[in-house]
Structure 1
Amino acid sequence: EIDTLLSDLNSAAILSATGAHWEEDNYDWWAMNTDTRSTAIILDTLARLDPENALIPNVVRWLMIARQGGIWETTQETAWAVMALTDWMTVSGELEPDYAYNVTFNDDTILQGDATPATVRERSELQIDVSEMLQDEANNLVFTRTGSNEGMMYYTAYVELYLPVPEIEAIDNGIIVDRRYTLEDGETVITEAQVGEVVQVRLTVIVPNSLHYVVITDPLPAGAEGIDPNLQTSEQIGTRPGLDNDNPLRYGWGWWYFGEIEFRDEAVNLYADYLPAGTYEYVYTIRPSVEGVYNVIPPTAQEFYFPDVYGRGAGSTFTVLPAEE
């Protein structure tokens, strides 16, 4: 029966490359259950019954990121998280590492050292430029450790690739993001506008599973600037829209989850500490000011601490025409 239970837990886990957690189908507020508390309870179960489970390190990562301002949201979450993490550190020797590590790239050593209780909180970061990579053949990044089995070794590798805007296609790695330019009616999609004309931008974000610390960036066309329709002037950095009682959906649906919204010269940035699963829309306006045909960098959305959970729209062009005389 225990093996069946563990198998069911493994199957129900929601995974990304660097995080794993479980979500409740239905919330029982009387029992004070939350996704974070349930994840902590399952972590404690795995630490006791299946300490070699490959999910555990990623569950620990997710549980640490689930804190808001350095703490979990409820006393239930805090109690279970502390118990689970304590049990995990006991069986893993997390704070008592004793091993040597080595990192090679195409057989060349690029990092090495010793993990000990004195260095357990240290971290290293490396960057490899494209010019250092082999062309038209596989590049090998290898992490090895020697010595005792005490303590865990955590590592993450990311690849950043920059493409010409017309070649950029939409990507869905756990978040879907899409942008449309429309007339002020919000329905008529456009790819061009005249200098001085007001253009509505509709940014849609679909989140299949709840996420923490989400950052959304929507670059502006080079020939346009973001505006505040109320003030008819540029929005101030760090402000967020207020509720319009006459038109509560003026800024779209779910914008209130974004604790900070920044209008910058080159982009609009939205930040959310927590986004439950669902569809969100943020609506704002821009005003074209310089004639030309512009490549528009696609919008992106990602979890700040788990950047592999990532979404990107497609690249596009936007034309700014001369103003009517």
Structure 2
Amino acid sequence: AGGKGGGGEEAEALRTQFRNTAYWSPQVTTGPDGRATVDITLPDNLTTWRTQVRAVSGDTLVGEATDEIVATTPLLVRPALPRFLRVGDEVTLRTLVRNATDVPQEVTVTLDADGVEVEGDAEQTQTVAPGESGDFAWTARATAEGTATVAFRATAGDLADGVQIDLPVYLDVTPETMSTGGVVEDQSAIEAIYLPGYAITDRGSLDVGVQASIVGALESELSELRPFDEESTVRTASRVIATIAARQAEGYEGDDVFAPVEDDLRRLQAIQRGDSGWGYCARYCSTDPVVTAWVLTAFGDAVDAGWDSPNVQWRQGITSIRQRLDRVSDVANPVDPNEEAFLLYAMQQARGGEVLANTLRSIYEQHREELTPWGEAYLILALLDSSVEPDDAMVRGLVSDLNASVIPSANGNHWEAAPLYGSIESNVSMTSLVLRALAQVDPEHPLIEETARWLVAARNADRWHSDVERAQAIRGLGSYAALTGERQGDFDFRVLLDEDNVMDGHLAVGRDEGTSSASVRLPLSGITPGEVHRLAFERETGAGRLYYVLNLRYVTPAAEVESLSRGLSVAHEYTLVDDPDRPITEARLGDLVRVKVTVVADADRKFVQVEDYLPAGLEALDTQLATVPDDVRRQLEEERRDAVVGDGDGIKAYAPWYGWYWSPWDQTDARDDRFTLFATELPRGVHEYVYYARATTLGDFFVSPATAEEGPFPEVFGRSDSGRFSVVR
């Protein structure tokens, strides 16, 4: 590349096409002499191109060759620009011009920039020594969103070179998400839609969804519990529980309810052990009281559904459970009160003829403070099964405890607790148990509907992992469907935004019916910021309920925005590699900056994405590449040695660049303008991630807020403060 001074030649010298791969072909056929020729037009990159050829003959002879092609020019323009800009950035537009001749050259560089405001004269001249580079710089400011086109043209006598680069200029915005939901029975429901006056409406949406049943078709979940050889006892019992609950919810009656699992019930009878209990596996596992209790629960559900068997040996499983409960007198290893509540519930399910109300009452009186939500729920269910009235003071106290420990969100309520060793319960199954308990105590309890909504959302987010989770969730949602009668839903509906009809149709629920849900995504162009709009949900006469959910997404200017925490908190901190304890807002050109991202989850979260936006003057390093500098590798090794795994409060530090070191982050992406973290499962607690970035561009840059969001629940969201970061000489 090169040319003489002058308008036409200068235009020809402007290089604009840059690619990493100049040419690739999967197959080139040679002539009889084994030679082949290809014509290649090289891109405008002035660099060393590496050519690789691999050959194979018809009789499987193979070979390869490598060569290099150097593309250069005696006067070489090398721009030192950021990969992007943000509105409000003050940046130094620099280029180095190398004099590859053996004599000094008087070099003139002209800057032509669109999309940014440049200070000073567009032309600069300086003498560049042979074999050296001159540094040419202009101060500029990004003032509008779009694309900045920057062109440097250098001339020195008959020598010339030029480069043109396009830079994206991003608007300083931060996302906002609002979610809500409700139900329409006899009268219309109206939601107020309001965007603040500073909201930007050309991006974002209002998502509206309606359903005739939030439970959906529970039978479809049974395929996840299909039998296979040598399956565990827990899976077999879970399939019995889930199948009975799903078929009852779908309206089956009599023998049709339990007929699909009669073989499973016979198998459970056949693998009962000599001590009357059941083990996790059929042949070699020792009897386990928790597994035994789960099997008894399955038998109890089958009996309630009408199953009758002449073989009642399974009821003797109570003996195995009683042996476990006798350990209560063992001061060193007492039974956990939550487990005890579950075991007593299972005994009640087995219809042992014992009066357990007094034992259950003693758990409440002696261990109330130790009970977690799943223990409280099992205790409520067992008490009600022991003929204790729903308005009993003990039952009311347990419900009050559940009310106090609920974790609410716009898309539903759920409960969590630290896992108990040996337990088969999880947060999903625990929430399902609470739903059943609340429904039996008070069908009008205000938490019931939103708890069912959370379970459905968890199902859609692939949170039903284990066999027990699936069985408990189907059981809980089945009881909710029976309570509300929503399985008979059949009605017309419409949704109005102010006076405009934005969605209408017919919803019906049932195995042989039509559509049970509908949705629409509305642009924000029909919503005026600063004004209140009305979104009305109308349901025509007919059986069932209309459920609706709204997700409003929009963006606002990010300048001087404050941090926000709605279930997730996120913050980032910049330090220097050699001084990791002192936060900075300024670095020198060429410095290596250590970026620490801290995420706090107030509950176990699923499908979390964290985006830490870089200032334009920093460029993230991919620590997996061989090009990582030695000083960075030394720092990584030091942090690996110092990394600490926290206790029950979460993780205090990570060395995530080492594959063997546990981290919740399943994937990390270093992009031009951000560093992104993905976690399928993010446990409750504090989590940190460290990455590195090089200070590559002089200027004063806007730092957009880092954001964190839980995918299935967009209202679970957090962001950090915005700020500024400077790169100086």
- Alignment TM-score, normalising by the size of structure 2: 0.40
Deviates most, 8-17 or 115-124: 115-124
Q: 1:116 to 1:216 in 2, by over 3 A?
A: same
Is 1:260 matched up with 2:667? yes
User: What is the CA distance between 1:278 and its match in structure 2?
Assistant: 0.9
Aligned to 2:711: 304
Residue-by-residue CA offset, 1:170-222 (whole Å, 9 max, x unaligned): 11112111111111132111112223211010111112222222111111222
Is 1:221 matched up with 2:609? no
**Aligned-residue CA RMSD (Å):** 3.0
Aligned to 1:128: 523
Is 1:280 matched up with 2:687? yes
- Does the aligned pair in 1 maintain the 2:613–2:704 contact within 8 Å? yes
Aligned to 2:494: 102
User: What is the CA distance between 1:285 and its match in structure 2?
Assistant: 0.5
Q: Which amino acid aligns with 2:522?
A: Q
User: What is the CA distance between 1:314 and its match in structure 2?
Assistant: 0.9
- Does the aligned pair in 2 maintain the 1:92–1:152 contact within 8 Å? no
Q: Where does the alignment leave 5 or more consecutive residues of structure 2 unmatched?
A: 1-388, 629-635, 646-650, 657-662
Aligned to 1:40: 432
**Aligned match for 1:246, one of 641, 654, 664:** 641
Q: Distance in 1 between matches of 2:718 and 2:520?
A: 24
Is 1:177 matched up with 2:570? yes
Residue-by-residue CA offset, 1:95-145 (whole Å, 9 max, x unaligned): 54212222222232222222123444543122232x433454322222232
Q: Distance in 2 between matches of 1:292 and 1:264?
A: 20
Q: Distance in 1 between matches of 2:515 and 2:436?
A: 22
Aligned to 1:188: 582
Deviates most, 252-261 or 63-72: 63-72
Aligned to 1:269: 676
Q: Which amino acid aligns with 1:180?
A: E
Aligned to 1:20: 413
Q: Distance in 2 between matches of 1:96 and 1:244?
A: 60
Q: Where does the alignment leave 5 or more consecutive residues of structure 1 unmatched?
A: 235-240
Is 1:146 matched up with 2:540? yes
- Does the aligned pair in 2 maintain the 1:293–1:319 contact within 8 Å? yes
- Does the aligned pair in 2 maintain the 1:252–1:282 contact within 8 Å? no
**2:470 is paired with a residue of what secondary structure?**
helix
User: What is the CA distance between 1:242 and its match in structure 2?
Assistant: 11
Q: Which amino acid aligns with 2:710?
A: E
Is 1:72 matched up with 2:472? no
User: What is the CA distance between 1:22 and its match in structure 2?
Assistant: 0.9
User: What is the CA distance between 1:282 and its match in structure 2?
Assistant: 0.7
Q: Which structure carries more helix by proportion?
A: 2
Considering only CA atoms, is the larger Rg found in Structure 1 or Structure 2? 2
Aligned to 2:5: none
**1:44 is paired with a residue of what secondary structure?**
helix
Identity among equivalent positions (%) equals 31
Is 1:2 matched up with 2:394? no
User: What is the CA distance between 1:146 and its match in structure 2?
Assistant: 2.5
Q: Which amino acid aligns with 1:114?
A: H
Aligned to 1:60: 452
- Does the aligned pair in 1 maintain the 2:609–2:709 contact within 8 Å? yes
Q: Distance in 1 between matches of 2:692 and 2:507?
A: 52
- Does the aligned pair in 2 maintain the 1:259–1:272 contact within 8 Å? yes
**2:452 is paired with a residue of what secondary structure?**
helix
Residue-by-residue CA offset, 1:211-259 (whole Å, 9 max, x unaligned): 222111111222322113464648xxxxxx9997534459962660111
Q: Distance in 2 between matches of 1:244 and 1:318?
A: 25
- Does the aligned pair in 2 maintain the 1:219–1:297 contact within 8 Å? yes
**2:721 is paired with a residue of what secondary structure?**
coil
Q: Which amino acid aligns with 1:106?
A: D
Aligned to 2:720: 313
Q: How does 1:84-103 map to 2 (within 5 A)?
A: 84-103=476-495
Q: 1:136 to 1:82 in 2, by over 3 A?
A: closer
**Aligned match for 1:83, one of 461, 464, 475:** 475
Q: 1:61 to 1:288 in 2, by over 3 A?
A: farther
Q: 1:286 to 1:268 in 2, by over 3 A?
A: same
Q: Which amino acid aligns with 1:166?
A: A
Aligned to 2:148: none
- Does the aligned pair in 2 maintain the 1:219–1:268 contact within 8 Å? yes
Which has the higher relative contact order, 1 or 2, with Cα contacts under 8 A spaced 6 or more apart? 1
Q: Distance in 2 between matches of 1:46 and 1:149?
A: 24
Q: Distance in 1 between matches of 2:533 and 2:726?
A: 41
Q: 1:174 to 1:98 in 2, by over 3 A?
A: same
Q: 1:123 to 1:265 in 2, by over 3 A?
A: farther
User: What is the CA distance between 1:79 and its match in structure 2?
Assistant: 2.0
Q: How does 1:187-206 map to 2 (within 5 A)?
A: 187-206=581-600
- Alignment TM-score, normalising by the size of structure 1: 0.84
- Number of equivalences: 313
Aligned to 1:238: none
Aligned to 2:367: none
